[in-house]
Amino acid sequence: MYFTNVYRNYKQALDVGAWLFIIGSACFLLDDLQDWFHYRIGILLTLKYGEKDNVDATINHIDKKQKTFFDRYRRIKINLNYLASILGSLLYLVGSVFFLPKFEDKEIVGDILFIVGAAVISLSEGCKIYRFACTSALDSNDTQFHVKNIRHNLQAIFISCFALFGGVFDFIGAILYLPHLNQTDFDENRATALFLCAGVSFTLAGLLLQYRYYYRSRK
């Protein structure tokens, strides 16, 4: 999963690259846990104080009381959405470990975990984007898809879009890295370029997440 002219010229390139994958995956897992944690805090604040104006309550349709079965079902779906992202990032982290040179004979395991993790993340982020488009800033009971709702959740949309792009890039790149599709230097560099694009996308998503929860909250 590295550019061929790099690891051939630098002995430690494979180790460094694998550790960067591990660190990046760990950071993305922490971001997903942070996102889920803020969602749970939003629920607690709303249930305890009725603060419906906080960011998490608005985006996640959190009402003070769960009046109907549909309300409970909606809450469960949101939880599963967040947990799916966490699962995908966890698969990334475990898969990254197998990219260390000492696990070279099990590298295919890491690649498969990356494929599954990328698929889970892509589906999860796609669901988030759809959910945001179904979230009305004017009527919390309106759960219909409206393109106009996107502008009310632009930060969340951008975070999920970048994460979605990262997942798609990794999904395609990991498939192209499978042994029967990775026969030449061009093949490996092509997959590596996609992993690089994924890394940039995930980094942007992570930075936007920090801005959303910390910088903006202090303004």
pTM, two decimals, is 0.81
* Digit-coded pLDDT (tens) for 46-82: 444 444 444 454 455 444 455 666 667 777 788 888 8
DSSP designation for 20: H
Cα of 218 vs its chain's centroid, Å: 25
Distance in angstroms (rounded) separating the CA atoms of residues 170 and 186: 17
Distance in angstroms (rounded) separating the CA atoms of residues 44 and 51: 9
Q: Residue 88: what pLDDT?
A: 95
Whether the predicted pLDDT of 136 surpasses 90: no
Distance in angstroms (rounded) separating the CA atoms of residues 9 and 1: 15
Whether the predicted pLDDT of 140 surpasses 70: no
Distance in angstroms (rounded) separating the CA atoms of residues 59 and 134: 10
Contact 70, 78 (CB under 8 A): no
The dihedral sign for the CA sequence 118, 122, 123, 128: positive
Distance in angstroms (rounded) separating the CA atoms of residues 21 and 44: 35
* Digit-coded pLDDT (tens) for 71-123: 677 777 888 888 999 999 999 999 999 999 999 899 999 999 999 999 999 99
Of 15 and 54, which is predicted with more confidence? 15
Contact 132, 153 (CB under 8 A): yes
Whether the predicted pLDDT of 198 surpasses 60: yes
Distance in angstroms (rounded) separating the CA atoms of residues 190 and 212: 33
Distance in angstroms (rounded) separating the CA atoms of residues 115 and 176: 10
Query: What is the per-residue DSSP string for 119-160?
Result: HHHHHHHHHHHHHHHT--SS-TT--S--GGGGGGGHHHHHHH
Q: Residue 70: what pLDDT?
A: 65
Quote the percentage of the chain above a pLDDT of 70.
80
Distance in angstroms (rounded) separating the CA atoms of residues 65 and 68: 9
Distance in angstroms (rounded) separating the CA atoms of residues 168 and 124: 12
Helix pair 69-97, 13-49: axis angle to 10 deg: 160
